Amino acid sequence: MTTLWFMPSALHAGEPVNQKPAGAPNPGGMVSLGGEVGAAADASIKRFSAVPYDSLAWLRADLTGEQVSKFDDKYGRKMRRPYKNYSGDISGRFIEIMAMNSRGSYDIHPLLKDLLAEVLKNQRPGGYFAAFGVIDWQQPLDFKLKGKATMMPGLWGNSRMLCGLVEACRAFNDPALLECARKLGDFYVGLLPRFTDPARVSEYTGGDTYASGYVTCYFPAMEGLIKLHELTGEKKYLDTAAKMAEFYKSFDRLPIDHSHGMLCNQVSLLLLYEVTKESGYLARVEKRWSDLVEGGYINPAGGILEKCRVQNKKDEGCALADWLRLNLELAQVTGKARYRDMAERTLHNHFLQNQTSNGGFGHRVMFHDKGGVYGFKGRSREATWCCTLHGQLGFVDLRSHLFERTKDRLTCNFALDFTSSNEGKTVVSKILPAAGPGEVLRQSIRLGGTPAAVVLVRKPRWADSVSAIDAAGKLLPVVEKDGYVATPGPVSEAVFIYKGGVYAENRRCVRLPAGPVAGEPCVLGYGPKILATVKTTAAIPSWPTTLKKLQAQGLEPFNSAMRTQDCRFVCPEDKP
């Protein structure tokens, strides 16, 4: 077994957001998460110390097409190695998350440097990666050949590899890696006329193999192209992404059979907006967000299914991480409260509930009826080839969006445990238990090695009020503005007190101020957590009610024990 060298939950953070490349974490420090979320993040990164991530052959097989072991095609085996035709997918994802966690050191994982060498060795003359030989991209698409397709899966894998190469270039400043990334970017530039040809639309829409389709395999390359433009300053990569985004318009519809691919495309459109400031890109993403939430594609726990449909049998950790990172970046770009509220809901409820006992991510089986998802079954399966990797990306993005620091202000976006350190300057956020009537939780924020600052915390949707006391316990006359609560002046330490109670919502995340409506299903919450029961169902309670009363009925805030149990969060569920 290999040893993974890392600081738990750590990545670069601290530079003002408007100075960072689009979609990149804030450099210049280290942030570690604590509490329940921190434990999940640590379990996630530690997962890469074990089988199968301790096998170089396993990691590179989508570059070489090699047989890794006799268990390559065996479901349930730790060394199972599927999807080699998704060339660059696993290897690219692995490079991306390791580079983003590396702090500039190859020692983040003992196989990282070797894998990067394999990438350089296996790049095709055309700039792309293909595990099973050279591909003639001008031939008709082969995505109808179930299990044997190379073109569409290859495009998907190359899109993840491009993101990985960009992050490796940022982390390690290696000219060979930069040249490799440029060659891959140039491959997509040269491929543009072939895959955005209006005369071939019938060919593009002729696939019937779920994730091996044109819409979800070709367009995700926009993300890497935009990031490559930010890295190199070369406009041809941005122009290619923009032309792809324009052509994507006529294909971008709901429902679709691959949430992960669709959300990668939405992330790309948002990055295009950040770089170009063209409002049309942002409008498209915000409309898609509304359509997803209002249409029931997003369930009350804040998650999305593997297939972007209201009803489906399972979720996917990749899509959950994408939904989380899309909301985090939308909040940063727009300042709108609903996006951080959704990111918080997704994180505390569906995202953590998808995590497997070994720290990985994968597929959780759903309870669903005509209204959508109403609970999680205890059955889940890790997907080492995608979800465990992409799940870690969710924690990477979360850490880079926790707070922003300027000379005289510290803005904290989430009530979470975390510590940030940067050259002797620290920010420590600690979640404390409630200590008075009506309190949900307390958040202590301390600044060390740095001048005092005005401290702002977000007033979340679940809080009726947020007040503050100083280090001596004296009430501070806070100022509330634009969804944030601020200390009246610079402080080095303050404790923020979040008050609230049980709240009710319908199945579309819409608050019911008067409580549950007779005869209609509802969802109950307390703080950032949705309440769930491990019983067969839960009756709609009399209103108003308290957390203590609901706990007596078997309803509890989502917790780690529920990840292996059948649990329901809609009471009662609709009939199928």
Domain boundaries, the chain: 49-251, 409-499, 503-568
CA–CA dist 379, 314 (Å, integer): 10
Contact predicate 439/497, CB 8 Å = yes
Q: What's the length of the chain?
A: 576
User: What is the Cα–Cα distance from 170 to 395, expressed in whole angstroms?
Assistant: 19
Dihedral sign of CA atoms 118, 119, 125, 129 in order: positive
* pTM attached to this predicted model: 0.94
Among 2.60.420, 3.40.50, 2.120.10, 1.10.287, name the CATH number for the domain at 409-499: 2.60.420
Closest CA to 541 of 554, 530, 528: 554
Chain centroid offset of residue 1 CA: 28
Q: Burial letters for 439-456: b for 16+ Cβ neighbours within 10 Å, e otherwise?
A: ebbbbbbbbeebeebbbb
**329, 20 contact by CB (below 8 A):** no
Torsion on CA atoms 508, 269, 211, 298, rounded to nearest 10: -10
Structure tokens of 153? 């899966």
Distance CA 264, CA 221 (A): 9
From residue 392, how far is each of 2, 44, 244, 312, 321 by CA, in Å?
18, 6, 28, 24, 8
Question: What pLDDT does residue 570 have?
Answer: 95
Residue 215: both structure tokens together: 């819409």
Sheet of 465-469: strand order equals 30-33, 418-422, 425-432, 439-448, 493-499, 465-469, 475-476
Please, is 253 exposed, middle or buried when counting C-beta atoms within 10 Å of its C-beta (0-12, 13-18, 19+)? exposed
Q: Is the peptide bond before 153 cis (omega within 30 degrees of 0)?
A: no
Residue pair 529/557 in contact by the 8 Å Cβ criterion: yes
**Cβ-contact 116, 170 below 8 angstroms:** no
pLDDT given at position 208: 57
Distance CA 505, CA 456 (A): 28
Rounded distance, CA 255 to CA 133, Å? 34
User: Residue 199, class by beta-carbon neighbours within 10 Å (0-12 exposed, 13-18 middle, 19+ buried)?
Assistant: exposed
Alpha-carbon gap, residue 360 to 356, rounded angstroms? 5
Sign of the dihedral through C-alpha 337, 339, 345, 348: negative
Q: How far is CA 213 from CA 61, 145, 309, 334, 357, in A?
A: 22, 12, 17, 32, 32
Strand ranges in 289-401 using DSSP code E only, listed in sequence order: 362-369, 372-382
Pull the structure tokens for residue 13: 């953070």
Angstrom distance (rounded) from CA 569 to CA 302? 12
Nearest residue to 568 via CA among 376, 282, 428, 411? 376
Reduced to 3 states, what is the DSSP secondary structure of residue 225? Answer: helix
Angle between helices 112-122 and 56-64 (to 10 degrees): 20
Angle at 86 between CA 84 and CA 87, to 5 degrees: 80
Token pair listed for 508: 């579309």
Burial class for 142, CB neighbours closer than 10 Å (0-12, 13-18, 19+): middle
Predicted pLDDT of residue 537: 76
CA gap 424, 428 in Å, rounded? 12
70, exposed or middle or buried, with CB in 10 Å at 0-12, 13-18, 19+? exposed
Q: How are beta strands 372-382 and 362-369 bridged, if at all? A: antiparallel
Identify which of 177, 168, 219, 164 has the alpha carbon closest to the alpha carbon of residue 195.
219
Render each residue's pLDDT in the chain as its tens digit; 576 residues: 333 434 333 333 322 222 344 444 443 479 999 999 999 999 999 999 999 999 999 999 999 999 999 999 998 899 999 999 999 999 999 999 999 999 999 999 999 999 999 999 999 999 999 999 999 999 988 865 555 789 999 999 999 999 999 999 999 999 999 999 999 999 999 999 999 999 999 989 876 545 558 999 999 999 999 999 999 999 999 999 999 999 999 999 999 999 999 999 999 999 999 999 999 999 999 999 999 999 999 999 999 999 999 999 999 999 999 999 999 999 999 999 999 999 999 999 999 999 999 999 999 999 999 999 999 999 999 999 999 999 999 999 999 999 999 989 999 999 999 999 998 999 999 999 999 999 999 999 999 998 999 999 999 999 999 999 999 999 999 999 999 999 999 999 999 999 999 999 999 999 999 999 988 999 999 999 999 999 777 788 899 999 999 999 999 999 999 999 999 999 975 544
User: Which residue bears the tokens 């060339």?
Assistant: 87
**Residue 328 has which token pair?**
């985090």
CB contact at 8 A, 42 and 9: yes
User: What sign does the dihedral 431-433-436-440 (CA atoms) show?
Assistant: positive
